[in-house]
Amino acid sequence: MKYFSNRTFVLFMVSVLVLSGCAAIRKVTYPPNFTYLEKKTVTSSMHQLAVSIEKLDSVLREIGSNISASEQERVISQLNTMESIADNLGAGTQTTNHLLLDEHIDQFKSDVITARRSAEAEPPNFYLVGRLSGSCTGCHVLR
């Protein structure tokens, strides 16, 4: 029994050392413009985007014919948050280990920026903001 617990402990320590070394190995083996996204990072970011979409939908349901400055600011704030999240998911020239994200995140970010610009206009136009949840459907149709 004692031999088994020592062996288990050694295997556990080797596993921890190997896994902790993976991040260092990635820095050497991947090109400089490559961003490795952990699964929990992607999951968390997607959840944050879903929360932002839900908040936008909620604001849009509340808005009447007269749009107040606070409602407009709430929409713009959520869109800025979404743009920041998209940046963290590898938008632009970054390449990541998530090919589907790489393929679609720039278009999503562009949709967010266009929606924000229309929301910032005088008078604000929220039509493109309402279409953002459809941008999610393009990638998530298979999920």
Work out the number of other CB atoms within 10 angstroms of the CB of residue 79: 25
Helix, strand, coil percentages in the chain from 3-state DSSP, rounded to 5:
75, 5, 20
| Per-residue pLDDT reduced to its tens digit, 48-104 | 999 999 999 999 888 877 888 889 999 999 999 999 999 888 767 778 888 888 888
pTM: 0.75
